[in-house]
Amino acid sequence: MSAEAADRVAAVGGSRPSTPLQTSWFEFLLDGSLLEKHLEKSNPDPLPVQLIIQFLEQASKPSVNEQNQVQPPADNRRNRTLKLLALKVAAHMKWDLDVLEKGLTIPVLNMLLNELLCVSKVPPGVKHVDLDLSTLPPTTAMAVIIYNRWAIRTIVLSSFPEKQTKPGPHQMNMLSIVQQEKEMTENILTVLKEQAADSISVLEGALRLKKDFYVHTLRTLDLLAADAAANGETESSTAGLRISADELHCQVHYDLGGIFFQHGFTDQPAFEKARDHFRQTKELLRKLDSTVHVHLDEKRLAGYWNACKAMTGDCELNSCRRSTSTTRRESGLDLVCHKLCVCNAVRDALEGEVLSVRFQQLLFKPRKLMVDFILEVCTRSLEKDRPSETSRRHMANFLKTLCESLEDLSLVFVVSSHKLFMELLKEEERKVLVEQMRKRSATINLSGKPLPSFYDIPASASVNIGQLEQQLILSLEPRRIRQILIELHGMAERPFWRVNSKWEVPPDYINVILGIKDNLTKDLVYILMAKGLHCIAIKDFVHARQLFSACLELVTEFSPKLRQVMLNEMLLLEVRAHETMASEGSKERPPPDLVSRVRGYLEMRIHVGFLFPDLPLRQVVGEECVAFMLNWRENDYLTLQVPPSLVMNNPYIKIGQLLASTCKELPGPKESRRTAKELWDVVVQICSMSIQHKRNNDGRVGLIKHRESSMGIMHRSKFITFIKKLREPLVLTTLISLFVRLHSIVRDDIVNEVTAEHLSIWPSTLPNIQAVDVEAVAVTVKELVSYALTLNPNNQSWLITQADIYFVTNQYSAALNFYFQAGAVCSDFFTKAVPPDVYTDQVLKRMIKCCSMMNCHTQVAVLCQFLREVDYMTAFKALQEQNSHDSMDSFYDYIWDVTILEYLTHIHHKRGEIEKRQIAIKAIGQTELNTSNPEEVLQLAAQKRKKRFLQAMAKLYF
């Protein structure tokens, strides 16, 4: 028997060894050395990314207590080990975000990187933008950089359209699972987008660091697990995987280029920033001998680079700017931009790439001159060298697409009769295309004249479903969308609303829309609504109105329920459009019609059940209507005219009414603060947790707090979302005041209290303080003040509150920054005196403590003069310090108190510091400080020095 025959017999008989079983996740818990051996295999099963998913999935499983109640995942040794295993796998992959992003979903990767921040000792509760990377341990700084790189990359990747790979029939029973994953992803993306500016600042800060970087490896993570970090080994410069500054900077420049390129579509100058980052990426790539730790797509980099040059007007565009006359400059630039767009489109076509949105828009109504130019570029592009067969086929497809996209049949004839068209397309292809054009012509002729109705649009044929689907994704013109859908339904019966996974309608409406029997109408309603919602999200309100109007016209014909849905969404569109204008600086009040429609919507919810018992109502519409009324000070309606039944049934109306009433009573006598107390009670309940008593093993009774179990009229997260839709200053000041008081009570630290306006209107005690979620209150007050300052960075009260928050959390540099900002905004950058109600003695004492804690002792001495009664004891004690980190004698010119100057000369004489003593003596000798001078002269000398000192400090800390 031959060897081959023997093998076959063995295989049939089952004597050959079977495929090894996949290693289970729990085996890695049992054997600490197994993971490294597994990862070193050439084809490990499961793959590294699958292991990360399994480890984190197991570590985040909720537990069930003795009462069969679901609890958050336990913080025990097993779960901590699982999380560490996931990190070790990522460390083995050298934290390659390209690979991690392809293998892990956004929620899983978010969990992984948050765990990296945790083990890397990144200070919890501190914004990354407030951290000084240069002072952090290497692995800590690198964790912050990796997280913020992922944040901006995820924002960029989420903006790319994703085509559905399997457009099979939709399974309704899968909706809840898919929806849950989508909601988690959207929530994370919302946070990442809100923090995008901070992430960019962090990465720009990383570019200023010129030292090598170090990232966690399996070894350093093992040391952490063994609690060996106590000796500092994991934080030393030699621990971890070394990544050179050039390698990291190359990667960070590429990532920043991507986010600025995305911003460029709404902020044109951002394209220039993107171009600069991509240029530096290219330069660093050339400089590096090897790019072990640089993971980027060089083809995409080249594409980005070419696009940036086109968008920023390099080369031909710049020369055109110089040569075009002033009177014709705008039209000349438009022509050049269009020609550049054509050239790029022809290049993309030759490479088999998808045509750009800009080129698609150019073909809506082109002139014959432009079509002639397109044909000229096509001809010239094939004249150079010898075109490959692939290039010729790509060009043929481009010309076919061009014919199908042109609505003017005379222009179609120009293309189809061109020499290049005749050469590249086979006779059979030309016949099919001409026949399609003929049919389209007949359809148009039958229509007579164009009708204004949305329904009467001629449909044109197409030979390529993929091309039509691409046009469907790109188009924002309702008639064109319907035309494409008619063509697609003529070629295939399937749900085209699933062509792009980015198209989403609110879950509240899905069942109603998917219940439409006619498939074409179903697709059309879904896509028009999804595109309209996307346009609102990117603040393209013009296209949103067109899409929603078309959808309203469509559903009015067959569904009163969907008609009401669209009217509600169009109201939300107008509210958001007006709020956006206001946030951009517009002072124009909303038209009375819009205010009336908002009232109508709120009151409609009372009797809507009689008209449409099952009408889906999105909570966000009511929420934003209430915010709209508060923002435009429609307090009389909220306090006097809103129906009581509406207040009882709608938590947003309830909060809106209480806020409006409290604001109307400010400032007022104590007896008129009933509504303030009611608002306080509602907010305290929102920030409270349900408490359960449980007897421990030792017989003592303990408390279990359930964070997810909100006792209030809404969850805290929804309350925060609502607050961030408010921008009326008095409303925000009232909320800040409430949360500052609540924060002070739960912290119970009388010495280090945060200050705010109107604190006296709130209660000073809590009946059930144990139920309040202290961490939630601390986070909320920080978020609220930070949000308010984004609306008005010059509100001195909010600035002082923000400074106090940093002060009580021992972030002294940040606190000083905001104390000086508060002084600057109310004194024209210290050209006038800062009002005493801003720089109170308490504020000044806190500024003194900040300087002291930062070892800036000379600054302490200068600030001691600002107090109503000069604090000589603190000043003298500060001047005795010899390790001052400020410029010491350079601040002597800012001291006007002669007693302090005399003490300085004594100190320097005692220490033998002759030069510094001379500087102090010179300061004393200035005639304007002579104690015999009139009081006015002495006050003027003090004011002059105060101003110069504060301006110098502002430059230091801003």
Question: In 3-state terms, the chain is what percent helix, strand and coil (to 5)?
Answer: 65, 5, 30
Residues in the chain: 958
pLDDT digits (tens, 9 = 90+) for 398-455: 988 888 888 777 777 778 778 888 888 887 787 777 667 666 654 443 333 333 334 3
Q: Per-residue confidence at 9, pLDDT binned at 50, 70, 90? A: very low
pTM for this predicted structure:
0.55
pLDDT at 546: 95
pLDDT at 312: 66
pLDDT at 543: 93
Characterise 260 by phi-psi region: left (phi > 0), alpha (psi -120 to 50), beta (else): alpha
Q: Using an 8 Å Cβ cutoff, are 482 and 454 in contact? A: yes
pLDDT digits (tens, 9 = 90+) for 555-571: 998 888 899 899 999 99
pLDDT at 164: 44
Q: How many helices and strands, by DSSP H and E, does the chain display?
A: 45, 6
Q: Rounded CA gap, 272 and 254, in Å?
A: 14
Average pLDDT over residues 252-280: 85
pLDDT at 730 over 90: yes
pLDDT at 334: 66
Q: Rounded CA gap, 734 and 676, in Å?
A: 9
Nearest to 603 by CA among 552, 658, 653: 653
pLDDT at 1: 39
Average pLDDT over residues 587-603: 88
pLDDT at 105 over 70: yes
pLDDT at 92: 84
- Residue whose tokens read 């004011």: 943
pLDDT digits (tens, 9 = 90+) for 742-758: 999 988 777 788 999 98
Q: Rounded CA gap, 769 and 774, in Å?
A: 9
Using N-to-C axis directions, what is the helix angle for 592-611 and 619-631, rounded to 10°?
A: 150
pLDDT: which is higher, 931 or 536:
536
Q: Using an 8 Å Cβ cutoff, are 629 and 636 in contact? A: no
pLDDT: which is higher, 452 or 696:
696
pLDDT at 731 over 90: yes
SS3 239: coil
pLDDT at 161: 55
Domains of the chain, residue spans: 333-438, 460-588
Longest dimension (CA), the chain: 123
Q: For residue 957, report the phi and psi dihedrals to the nearest 5 degrees.
A: -105, -10
Q: Rounded CA gap, 802 and 819, in Å?
A: 9
Q: Rounded CA gap, 765 and 744, in Å?
A: 10
Q: Using an 8 Å Cβ cutoff, are 152 and 196 in contact? A: yes
pLDDT at 789: 93
What tokens appear for 326 in the block?
């002033």
pLDDT at 416: 79
pLDDT digits (tens, 9 = 90+) for 631-681: 999 888 888 877 777 777 788 888 998 999 898 887 665 545 788 899 999
pLDDT digits (tens, 9 = 90+) for 46-80: 788 888 888 888 777 776 666 555 567 777 777 78
- Residue whose tokens read 């003027």: 940
pLDDT at 848 over 60: yes
pLDDT digits (tens, 9 = 90+) for 489-513: 888 888 899 888 889 999 889 888 9
Out of 73-87, 608-622, 730-744, 892-906, which region has the weakest mean confidence (pLDDT)?
608-622
pLDDT at 674: 80
pLDDT at 788 over 90: yes
pLDDT digits (tens, 9 = 90+) for 382-414: 876 567 888 888 888 898 888 888 877 777 777
Q: Rounded CA gap, 586 and 594, in Å?
A: 16
pLDDT at 338 over 60: yes
pLDDT digits (tens, 9 = 90+) for 180-220: 677 788 888 888 888 888 899 989 988 888 888 888 888 88
Q: Rounded CA gap, 457 and 447, in Å?
A: 8
